[in-house]
Amino acid sequence: MSNNILAITVGAILVNNFVLSKILGICPFLGVSKKLETALGMSGAVIFVMTLSSLVMALIDKYVLSQTFMLAGTVIKLRFLEILIFIVVIAALVQVVEIILQKFSPPLYKALGIFLPLITTNCAVLGAAELNVKAGRGIIESTIFGTCSAIGFALALILFSSLRERLDLAKVPAPFQGTAIALITAGILAMVFMGFSGLV
Amino acid sequence: MMIIITAALFATVLGALLALVIGATARAFAVETDTRVETITEMLPGVNCGGCGYAGCADFAKAVVEGRTIPSQCPVSTSVHITRIAEYLGITAGEKEKVFAVIHCGGSCTVTVRSPYNGVGDCRSAALVAGGAKGCDFGCIGFASCARACPFDAIEMRDGLAVVHPELCVGCGKCVDTCPKNLITLAPAAVDVHVYCSSPEKGPVKLKVCKAACIACRKCVKAADSETQMTVNGFLVATNYSNPPLPDLVEKAACPTKALRLATKHAAGAYEGVSK
């Protein structure tokens, strides 16, 4: 069990990094990586949402999607509605959490700010839930995988935003300025993370 | 067919259920917000300059509603807007002395250059490399860090010298901290006479690198209506802002280096050429 958890942790953060090796969650990776400060806010929100959604999606998987129901005399399995259920429930879940946060923890609500509603339908969040189902992980393992994937996302985002802050001061040839050099940097960063492959 | 009906049915039920949950949470955990804060935020300029001391216009509006500050603390709003906000809340607007930024340097960057500087085009970066390329160690190094920080475009770069336009400056003070040479101070907007030099070095040393330096000849001190209007600090004279001289002092004193200037005329370009 503990061995398995270690494999999940290292695997999700470094080897199969969500952004740099699975290419999930590219939109916020490029969108909110211009400043380290916003990247930190986004990272916090992603870790929070992915942990929560992985837990709830694992529960839904176990108690709804894996069960058979009887409706008008026919046996129905809801497995084919997996993606639809996941994305809608995640979106609703984040909304509810946001409302509750605003009431009970204004500082946390302020810190997460705009990023919380921004990632309700992020593919990294959905991807974590989907990958958990595919790998057949249990509830605890799913939650750990969700958290570690989000930490991996945060790691990539923080590294990349720091690089971009430095890039702003570098002399870049005119055709490569802006997004072009950012994408090249992201590619090199992804190649660096390839060095971790085979670790798990 | 059955599968389509199931999917549609389930999606509808799920949607309705989640809508119910969100609606119920929103109702149960509703946070009461003061609508006045939003109205006042809309009445404010919305430039978020921070000149009032709060983190942006929304934060200032909140502080005004909660009575922690007065509407006139906003340096950008005109008195008409401030009165409108005060009337809306039924409080007194109060009064605040208008200030504006003065960049105490009148020597353009072309005067004497110690060495070429090819680094990052920012004053703070340039100042890290042996204090910048300018001959004078205490002058404006002309990379426009202050001009970029200004939300109102009130600072113009003229011949490598930052010049404040008093009519555009609202005195928010955003530029003050950006200057690595600490040249910028906030002075009362009513005062027009300023010494455009910050170098504490001796007169001859200053003159070697700049023709617009204050050499502390005290002509202006003697010409002033009262002795306390201009204060001498070592080899540098400065306007006493608590007892300011009248604008005609510039003419009366006939400053030999023209370091004593009127801010309005300085902005209009009346002293150009002096610095070269």
Query: Are residues B124 and B199 located together in one domain of the fold?
Result: yes
Cβ atoms of B30 and B23 closer than 8 Å: no
pTM: 0.58
Alpha helices in A67-122 (DSSP H): 82-104, 106-112, 115-118
Beta carbons within 10 angstroms of residue B182's beta carbon:
11
Q: Which chain A residue lies closest to B32 (C-alpha atoms)?
A: A103
- Cβ of A100 within 8 Å of Cβ of B6? The answer is no
The single-letter DSSP state of residue A17 is -
Query: Are residues B232 and B252 located together in one domain of the fold?
Result: yes
Chosen for mutation from A89, A96, A97 (greatest number of chain B CBs closer than 10 Å) is A96
- Cβ of A169 within 8 Å of Cβ of B120? The answer is yes
Q: Does B23 touch chain A (CB under 8 A)?
A: no
> pLDDT by residue (tens digit) across A16-67?
899 998 888 888 888 888 888 888 888 888 898 899 999 999 999 999 888 8
What phi, psi does B28 have (nearest 5°)?
-70, -35
The verdict on residue B275 lying in a domain is: no
**Angle between helix B56-65 and B79-89 (nearest 10):** 40
Q: Which chain B residue lies closest to A73 (C-alpha atoms)?
A: B2
What phi, psi does B117 have (nearest 5°)?
-125, 120
Q: Does B5 touch chain A (CB under 8 A)?
A: no
CA–CA dist A20, A17 (Å, integer): 5
Q: Measured between CA atoms, how close is A151 to chain B, in angstroms?
A: 28
Query: Are residues B194 and B215 located together in one domain of the fold?
Result: yes
Query: Are residues B251 and B120 located together in one domain of the fold?
Result: yes
- Cβ of A88 within 8 Å of Cβ of B14? The answer is yes
Query: Are residues B227 and B163 located together in one domain of the fold?
Result: yes
Please, which pLDDT band fits residue B182 given cuts at 50, 70 and 90? very high
Tokens (6 digits) for B165: 């336009």
> pLDDT by residue (tens digit) across A70-114?
777 778 788 888 899 999 999 998 888 888 888 888 887 877 777
User: What pLDDT is attached to residue B109?
Assistant: 62
CA–CA dist A169, A184 (Å, integer): 16
- Cβ of B11 within 8 Å of Cβ of A95? The answer is no
Determine whether A111 is exposed, middle or buried from the number of CB atoms within 10 Å of its CB (0-12, 13-18, 19+).
middle
What's the domain range around B166?
A: 99-268
CB pairs below 8 Å between A and B: how many?
Answer: 37
Tokens (6 digits) for A40: 């930190």
Query: Are residues B149 and B55 located together in one domain of the fold?
Result: no
Tokens (6 digits) for B113: 């250059």
- Cβ of A103 within 8 Å of Cβ of B22? The answer is no
Tokens (6 digits) for B168: 């555009």
- Chain A residues lying within 8 Å of B15, measured CB to CB: 88
Of B6, B11, B31, the CB nearest to A84: B11
Query: Are residues B184 and B245 located together in one domain of the fold?
Result: yes
Of B18, B25, B31, the CB nearest to A88: B18
- Cβ of A95 within 8 Å of Cβ of B10? The answer is no
Assign residue B73 a region (left: φ > 0; alpha: ψ between -120 and 50; beta: otherwise): alpha
CA–CA dist A58, A130 (Å, integer): 10
User: What pLDDT is attached to residue A2?
Assistant: 65
Chosen for mutation from B4, B6, B125 (greatest number of chain A CBs closer than 10 Å) is B6
Query: Are residues B50 and B136 located together in one domain of the fold?
Result: no
Q: Does A63 touch chain B (CB under 8 A)?
A: no
Cβ atoms of A93 and A52 closer than 8 Å: yes
Give the β-pairing of A68-71 and A74-77.
antiparallel
Determine whether B149 is exposed, middle or buried from the number of CB atoms within 10 Å of its CB (0-12, 13-18, 19+).
middle
Please report, for chain A, the start and end positions of each structural domain, with discontinuous segments joined by +: 14-163
Tell me which residue of A144, A146, A90 sits closest to A122, measured CA to CA: A90
Query: Are residues B167 and B68 located together in one domain of the fold?
Result: no
Portion 78-97 of A in contact with B at CB < 8 A: 78, 80-81, 84-85, 88-89, 92, 95-96
The predicted model gives B190-216 an average pLDDT of 89
Distances (CA, A) of B112 to A11, A63, B76, B134, B211: 60, 79, 38, 6, 10
Range list of β-strands (E), chain A: 68-71, 74-77
- Cβ of B29 within 8 Å of Cβ of A95? The answer is no
Cβ atoms of A150 and A46 closer than 8 Å: yes
Is residue B272 pLDDT above 50, yes or no?
Answer: yes
Tell me which residue of B7, B51, B175 sits closest to B104, measured CA to CA: B175
CATH number, position B44: 1.10.15.40
Is residue B151 pLDDT above 50, yes or no?
Answer: yes
Query: Are residues B130 and B230 located together in one domain of the fold?
Result: yes
Tell me which residue of A51, A38, A54, A49 sits closest to A117, measured CA to CA: A49
User: What pLDDT is attached to residue B273?
Assistant: 52
**Angle between helix A139-167 and A36-60 (nearest 10):** 160
The predicted model gives B262-274 an average pLDDT of 77
Q: How many domains does chain B have?
A: 2
ipTM of the complex: 0.75
